[in-house]
Amino acid sequence: MKKMVTLMLGLATISAVNAQKVSSSNPVSNDPAAKKILDAVSTKFRTFRAPSAAFTYKIENAQGKALSTKKGTVIMKGTKYHVTIPGMELFSDGKTSWSYDRSANEVTVKDVDAVTGEITPQKLFTNFYDKDFLYKLNGEKKEGGKTLQEIELTPTNKTRPYHKVYLWVDKSNKVFYSAKILNKDGNRFSYTVSSLKPDAGVTDAEFVFNKTKFPGVEVVDLR
């Protein structure tokens, strides 16, 4: 469950990757074609006020056998997010993060700065790829009537639990479509967007865990 939470804090916020603005501060040269695509996606995504997305999250083993498939939703606003998947809800107001486990009726609270080494939504809204990855364009493929551009990312920090991240971008719409994380243990975690709306029309209260809505919840405060 802990591993799942860590990954959901990252690319389960799948469409948040569109907010990333790639620059050239990485001392190792990156692929300019990949940069152009990421910049275009970023430009479009930044016009969205409070985007929401529905997605499918799948875990596979090294042999490609599906171990788990779940559907979820994510709402974002700046560095804030609210992720909902079966059995769990993840909240962040940009300063504090809450991970709520429905089966245990327990919420774990952390400072956002304390969540280090993870592909978090906050990092996706900053110089995430610039600082932590080398990236290149692998080519295009057809899927579901869409032309998808594949971008391969390799972490520069070799102590990370994953060794590759793949992103697929809808070429015509310049929006994020799917992602796959390859873990060093052989497991693969993929996220595919089924719908994306530019404005969910929510208030900032959407991104804060309100314990009055969860009677009897146990709070584990790690701040």
Rounded Cα–Cα distance for residues 20 and 127 (Å): 7
pTM of the model: 0.79
- List, for residues 77-100, the tens digit of each pLDDT value: 888 889 898 999 999 998 999 999
Lowest mean pLDDT: which of 60-69, 103-112, 126-135, 187-196?
Answer: 126-135
**pLDDT-derived band of residue 6, with 50, 70 and 90 as boundaries?**
very low
Percent of the residues in the chain that have a pLDDT greater than 90, as a whole number: 43
**pLDDT-derived band of residue 128, with 50, 70 and 90 as boundaries?**
low
Asked whether the predicted pLDDT for residue 193 surpasses 50, the reply is yes
Rounded Cα–Cα distance for residues 8 and 6 (Å): 6
Q: What domains, with CATH codes, occur in the chain?
A: 32-221 (2.50.20.10)
Rounded Cα–Cα distance for residues 174 and 1 (Å): 33
Q: Give residue for tokens 């016009």.
A: 47
What is the DSSP pairing of strand 218-221 with strand 106-111? parallel
